[in-house]
Structure 1
Amino acid sequence: MKRFQKIVFTINLLLTPLTIIAVFWSVANLEVSLTSFLLTIAFSLIIDYPRMLAKVVLLPIVEYFRKPPKLREPLRVSVIIPAHNEEKTVSLTIESVLENKYHWKQIVFVDDGSTDNTLAIASKYSDRIIVLSRAKSGMKAYALNYGLRAATGDLIVTVDADTIIAWDFLEKAVVYFNDPNVVAGSGNLRVLNEKSSILTRLQSLEYVIAFDIGRRLQSMFNTLLIIPGAVGVVRRSILESLGGYDPIIGEDFDVTLKVHKVRGRVIFMPEAYAWTEVPGTLGSWIRQRIRWHRSQMRILIKHRNFFFKRIFGTPGLIGAPDMLLMDVIALFIR
């Protein structure tokens, strides 16, 4: 798996010089003037290529000299697993957390009104985890907040019930929080059902590029705006001071912006791996992406006071405007 990730990482980095070579080859061999060609690709030259150059030049240098932190002081961790009708995967999720070698952990499972055997399966582990049940809320945030009330750890780790974490995930994540300036972190997410179809294989490539390259770069510039709901870490003191999770679809994006507003450092933890289920059919994939983009727009509007405010630092001055530009405006321009 690591070899595959390195190959994808290398291919993505080589895209920039190959693209530049292709541009000059096209000008030299096609009857197009350099000026006309540059005007045609002006938007990409201004917006896309600086990013690509950062990936090619800055990222490899920073990663070469970066040394993963070492555990100095163990912190207590509460892992909250919200679930609704996840009988097929919930057992794997719970066992992946139980098998984590980190000793200072508490596991809180919250069943959100499941109508299948999810609660019954989770209850089999009740001697080793806290199992809570509530009426269906329709929003993940309610289940998370319910679990937060039972949490006692210094750090809150949220894990979706269709996600499994690596056996050393908790230890790899905790070391970053020995730095008091770090208040939240994103795990390194991969695709669990990669071999199910061509679509899941493509999403696997997407996840490798988005996390191993995209989030590394965002973390470097302190513009990481989304801690994935599938696997993320937040200090409990910060989360409670913010009132927990707001009842909104896209609570992971929402809480990340709330953390940035209190000037907390949000980081990417490349050594902390987890694997999650992704849509296996085109229809379910389209529905997921529509849901993601709708919630993204809704939350950007909710946090519109975050834009271009010096008080919020680079996340407000660069991160949020960049997301609006690339994820919304650029789609229409292109």
Structure 2
Amino acid sequence: MNTAVEEKSKETSLPPLAYNAEALELLAPQELPQPEVKPLEKPAAPVATSRKFYLSVRTKFAITVAFSVLWAALSVYLSLPWTRDLAAYIGYPLAYTVIAGIAIIPGFMNAFMVAALVLDRRPPRAPLPSLYPPLSILIAAYKEEESILGTLESVAKQGYPGRLQVIVINDGSPDRTAELVRGAQADYPWLELVDLEKNAGKANALNQGLKQARHSLVLTVDGDSYLYKDALKNIVERYLNDPPHTAAVAGCILVRNSRLNWLAKAQEWDYFHGIACIKRIQSLFQGTLVAQGAFSLYRKSVLEEAGGWPECVGEDIVLTWAILKKGHRVGFCEDACAFTNVPTTLTQFIRQRQRWSRGMIEAFKQHPQILVAPRLSTFFVYWNVLFPMLDLIFTIVFLPGLVAALFGYYFIAGPMTLVLLPLAGLINILMFSIGRKMFDANGLTVRRNIAGFLTYTLAYSVFLQPACLLGYVSELLELKKSWGTK
């Protein structure tokens, strides 16, 4: 699987659906694209969409939870001998905690993902019947002289059938980022530059760009991301076809530099499998928890209502939770793809995941009310409550248990841990099947990356979860914050 992809000559046409009524206000006359913008071709005739059997989102949620509880109950029953053996060494309270963290809770989460993916029947994204709303695109850039022109080129190649305002905010870069953007303005009449004298962080840069945004839809793109074809059109269509209370839509981030080394190859599967599918499931149940800054669409009025991007290391998750807390929905568009460069050294990778974990703790500290919000997405917020405990048990108990198992001591990592393997295998099959369908529909090719897959499934967590644990501890102890890597 790779993002180094080959296009296929395959196009799809979908019938129009009912649109996000509130979002259609964006098509007011004063916001229409300029006359020279070519309108879309007439969409295909509507196709009958009646279903013989329909399940509401809440029914799907109830079925998914019930299946997960049954799986967890079976796991508890099967683990009783394991519990007794482990309790002989550490006592029953710790034995229950350890086994819950190693097998029961992860098994519940895996079962939930399997059931949700099986039940997910996402409404088709449909072309708009008329002109598309204008977009203000914010690109915060710091030391991006090697990639910024490629990012702008990917925007230009979109052929988005609406007016664009692209604002690059140079965040005090000491390199030639601002100079290159100025030179590109001759080729791109929609391009604007906000050149900040001092580096003040991504949140500040985006907020400065937001002040200059003229349109009612605002989209963020990282300075080293490359938008795949139709990414802008697809994410706008997803937004307008989603429920009326949708205020933001996260795009799909894929790995651009996956051929460089083993770590990048493993992350390719993480983005393609794990991150994309979790966002898909969260979107199904009415609340993607992170609209990542690398590529996401927002309603400008909601951004302003939330006060823009907060000054913290996890500005995207904290902003997303502020949006959710106010009762809005955050969606996910799996076929609006942007390719980004991921860390290629363990030091960079650990710093990135530390920052992401710190961002989650920041979100809890700034928006604790989200824990009692009466909505389906609150279920996933409580997953995040459990992650620090799970990562702690994995790091200080399970990893040493693996080492002990090599010497014949199976009281922590033993035959019972193999119960998770069939479910993990099923999840990977489902994830791959769903991701591949999206790739096929968008002219992308899944490349063979067996080494990366084996690293991702067998060794990735050895680096990932301890890195996350360091992030939680750093934020709880309020240690000095640094951007590190994205």
| TM bin (shorter chain) | 0.7 to 0.9
Write the mapping of 1:139-288 to structure 2, written as runs, cut at 5 A.
139-178=201-240, 179=242, 180-288=244-352
Deviations 1:248-277 (A, max 9, x none): 221101110111112111011011000111
- For 1:132, which of 183, 187, 194 is the aligned residue? 194
- 1:67-86 matches, within 5 Å, as 67-72=124-129, 74-86=132-144
**Counterpart amino acid of 2:200?**
G
Distance 1:68 1:54 in 2: 25
Identity %: 29
Distance of 2:342 and 2:4 partners within structure 1: 19
Match of 2:151 in 1: 93
Q: Does 1:35 align with 2:102?
A: no
Range moving further from structure 2, 34-43 or 264-273: 34-43
Residue by residue over 1:100-152, the C-alpha shift from the partner in whole angstroms, topping out at 9 and shown as x without a partner, is 11132221111111110111111122242111111223310111011111111
Where in structure 2 are the equivalents of 1:10-29 lying within 5 Å?
A: none
Which residue matches 2:380?
319
Partner of 2:362: 298
Match of 2:167 in 1: 108
- 1:3-34 Cα deviation digits (max 9, x unpaired): 999xxxxxxxxxxxxxx9xx99xxxxxxxx86
CA distance in 2, matches of 1:289, 1:57: 28
Say which is worse superposed, 79-88 or 222-231, in terms of deviation: 222-231
Q: Decide whether the 8 Å contact of 1:142 with 1:247 is kept in 2.
A: yes
Q: CA deviation at 1:283?
A: 1.3
Contact 1:200 1:280 in 2 (8 A): yes
Structure 1 residue 2 displacement after superposition: 8.1
For 2:82 and 2:238, the matched residues in 1 are separated by 46
User: If the length of structure 1 is used for normalisation, what is the TM-score?
Assistant: 0.84
Counting matched residue pairs gives: 305
TM-score computed with the length of structure 2 as normaliser: 0.59
More strand by share: 1
**Relative CO higher for 1 or 2, CA cutoff 8 Å, sep ≥ 6?**
2
Unaligned runs of 5+ in 1: 6-19, 25-32
- Aligned equivalents of 1:147, 1:252: Cα separation in 2: 15
Distance 2:295 2:334 in 1: 13
Q: 1:297 to 1:109 in 2, by over 3 A?
A: same
Q: CA RMSD in A?
A: 2.5
Q: Does 1:331 align with 2:391?
A: yes
User: Shift in Å at residue 218 of structure 1?
Assistant: 1.2
Q: Which amino acid aligns with 2:170?
A: D
- Aligned partners of 2:257 and 2:264 also within 8 Å: yes
Q: Is the alpha carbon distance of 1:308 and 1:251 closer, same or farther for their aligned partners in structure 2, counting shifts above 3 Å?
A: same
Q: What is the distance in 2 between the residues matched to 1:297 and 1:242?
A: 19
How far residue 38 of structure 1 moved from its aligned partner, in angstroms, is 6.9
Residue 117 (structure 2) pairs with residue 53 (structure 1)? no
Aligned CA distance change for structure 1 residues 167 and 36 (closer, same or farther; 3 Å): same
Given that 2:222 and 2:293 are in contact with CA atoms closer than 8 Å, whether structure 1 keeps it comes out as yes
Of stretches 67-76 and 110-119 in structure 1, the one that deviates more from structure 2 is 67-76
Cα 1:106–1:61 change in 2 (3 A) is same
Which amino acid in the other structure matches residue 138 of structure 2?
A: I
Secondary structure at the residue paired with 1:196? coil
| Map of 2:432 onto structure 1 | none
In the alignment, the residues of structure 1 paired with residue 217 and residue 3 of structure 2 have an alpha-carbon distance, to the nearest angstrom, of: 32
Instruction: State the distance in 2 between where 1:42 and 1:288 align.
Output: 28
Native 8 Å contact 1:187 1:269 kept in 2: yes
Q: For residues 186-217 of structure 1, what are the alpha-carbon distances to aligned partners after superposition, in whole Å with 9 as ceiling and x for unaligned?
A: 11100111111111001111111223321111
The residue type equivalent to 1:323 in the other structure is N
**SS of structure 2 residue aligned to 1:320:** helix
Larger of the two Rg values belongs to structure: 2
Partners of 1:58 and 1:271 lie apart in 2 by 19
Aligned 8 A contact 1:176 1:182 in 2: no
Q: How far apart in 2 are the matches of 1:328 and 1:4? A: 34
Q: Does the 8 A contact of 2:101 with 2:389 survive in 1?
A: no
Partner of 1:121: 180
- Structure 2 counterpart of 1:76, which letter? P
SS in 2 for 1:86: coil
Supply the distance in 2 between the matched residues of 1:288 and 1:212 (Cα, whole angstroms).
18
C-alpha displacement at 1:300, in angstroms?
1.7
Amino acid at match of 2:383: D
Q: What SS does structure 2 have at the residue aligned with 1:195?
A: coil
SS of the residue aligned with 2:136?
A: strand
Return 67-76 or 205-214, whichever deviates more. Answer: 67-76
Residue range with higher mean Cα deviation, 178-187 or 85-94: 178-187
Please give the alpha-carbon distance, in whole angstroms, between the structure 2 residues aligned to 1:167 and 1:240: 29
Displaced runs of 4 or more, over 6 A = 2-5
Matching residue of 2:30:
none
Alignment-mate amino acid for residue 307 of structure 1: L
Q: Which runs of 5+ in 2 are unaligned?
A: 6-70, 87-98, 395-486
